Amino acid sequence: MSDSQTADIRSLTLAELKARIEELGEPGYRAKQIFSWLHRKNAVGWEEMSDLPAKLRERLITEVPLREAPVVRRQESAIDGTVKVLFELFDGNLIESVLMHYRFGYSVCISSQAGCRMGCAFCASTLSGLSRNLTAGEMLSQVYAFERELSEGERVSHVVVMGSGEPMENYDEVIRFFRLLAAPEGHKLSLRNMTVSTCGIIPGIRRLSQEGIPVNLAISLHAPNDEIRSQIMPVARKYPMEELLDACRDYFALTGRRLTWEYALIRDINDREEHARELADRIRGITGVVNLIPVNPVKERGLHEPDRDGVRHFQKVLNEHGTEATIRRTLGRDIDGACGQLRRKLVEE
C-alpha cells in the first residue's frame, strides 16, 4: 500500500479498514461502523461517530488523522443554482468541484488531480502544470462535502470525473474512488451513474475496457483530425486519433457501453461545416453520442465560442451524416464554470 493510502483513511476499502483497525488492537467489527460513518453518513470528524466507545474515538482522534479539506471559496450561480467550490487540501493544494442540479438529480463534477500536465489550449486547469495526483479519499471528500449541503433525503445521484486533471494518469486511485463510491456498505452509488472523461490516453482506455466496472467513458475529441487536434491538444502527438478510435472501438466491443465524444466548439478552429462532416466520417460505426460544448472562453487563451446558430448548424450537419449529437447546456457561466478557472483566479489574487 502506498503512503498516500495509509495516510488517508477515507481511501481504504472496508477490508483494508478492518486490517487497520485490528492493527490498532481494536475489534475488526468496528470497521463497518466507521466505514458507514465515513461513506454513508458523511462524517467529518471522529467525534461524530456516536456509536463508537468514547475511548476508541479519543484514540482515533489522536492516532488517525481524518483530513477534511476546508472550502476556501464558494460561488453559486444566480442563473441556474450551480455551485462551484474551491477546497484547500492538507498540503495547501487547491482543487475545485462543481455541483449541478438537473431534472434527474444532483451531479457532482470532481477533480482527479491538483493541476494538470496535459496542456490543452482551451483549458485553465493546465496553466500552472501538474501539482500532484489526488487520493481516492480526496476525490470522495468532494462528493461528500456537497452532499452535506443538500436537504434531508436528497443525495448526489451522478458523478463525473471531469474537473481538473487527467484521470487516466491517476488510474488506480480513480478506479478505487469509483469502487468505494459504489460500496454496498457505503454510498451505494450506481457505477452506471459515474463517468470518467479522458483526453485520449490510450493505455488507460484499454485498461478500463478490461476493468469490469460499468462506468461511462467520455472522450475529449475536440477535433476531426490530428492536424487540428494536435494544435489544441498536445496529447494528440503521442496518441494519434486513428489509434485512439481503435481503442474506442475495442472498448465498445468489450463493454457494450456507448461512448460520449466531447467536442468543444472553438470559433474558426474546429467549428466549420467540413469539420462536422469529417468528424461524422471518422467516428462512424463506433456507438456513441457527440456532446457539443461551446467553448467556455478562457481569457488567457484568446479562444472564442461560435455563435448560437453556428453551434446548431454543426449539430445539424452531424445529424445529417448519421451522428447523434446533443448541445451541452452551459451551467455556471457566471461562476467561472470552466475547469480550473476558479482555482486560477484565486492563485492570481
Catalytic residues: 96, 339
Task: Work out which of 296, 306, 314, 342 binds ligand SAH, going by CB under 6 A.
Answer: 296
38 binds ligand SAH, rule: CB under 6 A: no
Considering only the stretches 5-13, 16-24, 271-279, 289-297, report the one whose residues sit in contact with ligand SAH under the rule CB under 6 A: 289-297
What is the DSSP secondary structure assignment for residue 329, as one 8-state letter? Answer: P
Task: Work out which of 182, 280, 298, 318 binds ligand SAH, going by CB under 6 A.
Answer: 298
142 binds ligand SAH, rule: CB under 6 A: no
To the nearest whole angstrom, how small is the minimum distance from the Cβ of residue 262 to ligand SAH?
A: 4
Distance between CA atoms of residues 283 and 68, nearest Å: 43
Distance between CA atoms of residues 321 and 284, nearest Å: 9
182 binds ligand SAH, rule: CB under 6 A: no
87 binds ligand SAH, rule: CB under 6 A: no
Q: Which residues are paired to 106 by β-bridges? A: 101, 156
Q: In the chain, count H helices and then E strands.
A: 13, 12
CB closer to ligand SAH out of 247 and 295: 295
Angle between helices 14-23 and 30-39 (to 10 degrees): 130
276 binds ligand SAH, rule: CB under 6 A: no
166 binds ligand SAH, rule: CB under 6 A: yes
5 binds ligand SAH, rule: CB under 6 A: no
To the nearest whole angstrom, how small is the minimum distance from the Cβ of residue 226 to ligand SAH?
A: 16
Neighbour tally for 91: CB within 10 Å: 9
To the nearest whole angstrom, how small is the minimum distance from the Cβ of residue 338 to ligand SAH?
A: 4
Burial 166-186 (b: 16+ CB within 10 A, else e): bbbbbbebbbbbbbbbbbeeb
Nearest Cα to 83, choosing from 92, 96, 94, 93? 96
Task: Work out which of 143, 208, 295, 342 binds ligand SAH, going by CB under 6 A.
Answer: 295
> CB burial class (10 A; 0-12, 13-18, 19+) of residue 8?
buried
Residues in contact with 178: Cβ distance below 8 Å, sequence separation at least 6, in sequence order: 191, 194, 196, 213, 215
Task: Work out which of 199, 241, 279, 283 binds ligand SAH, going by CB under 6 A.
Answer: 199
Q: Binding string, 47-86, against ligand SAH, x = CB under 6 A?
A: ----------------------------------------
Considering only the stretches 45-53, 68-76, 99-107, 116-124, report the one whose residues sit in contact with ligand SAH under the rule CB under 6 A: 116-124
Asked if 347 and 94 touch (Cβ cutoff 8 Å), the reply is yes
162 binds ligand SAH, rule: CB under 6 A: yes
17 binds ligand SAH, rule: CB under 6 A: no
Task: Work out which of 77, 198, 255, 323 binds ligand SAH, going by CB under 6 A.
Answer: 198
Considering only the stretches 119-127, 239-247, 276-284, 316-324, report the one whose residues sit in contact with ligand SAH under the rule CB under 6 A: 119-127
CB closer to ligand SAH out of 273 and 300: 300
Q: Which residues are paired to 180 by β-bridges? A: none
Look-up of cell digits 496553466: 127
Distance between CA atoms of residues 190 and 234, nearest Å: 34
- Dmax (CA) of the chain: 69
Neighbour tally for 37: CB within 10 Å: 20
Distance between CA atoms of residues 323 and 203, nearest Å: 26
260 binds ligand SAH, rule: CB under 6 A: no
Residues of this chain that interact with ligand SAH (CB under 6 A) are: 118, 120, 122-123, 162, 166, 197-199, 220, 262, 264, 293, 295-296, 298, 338-339
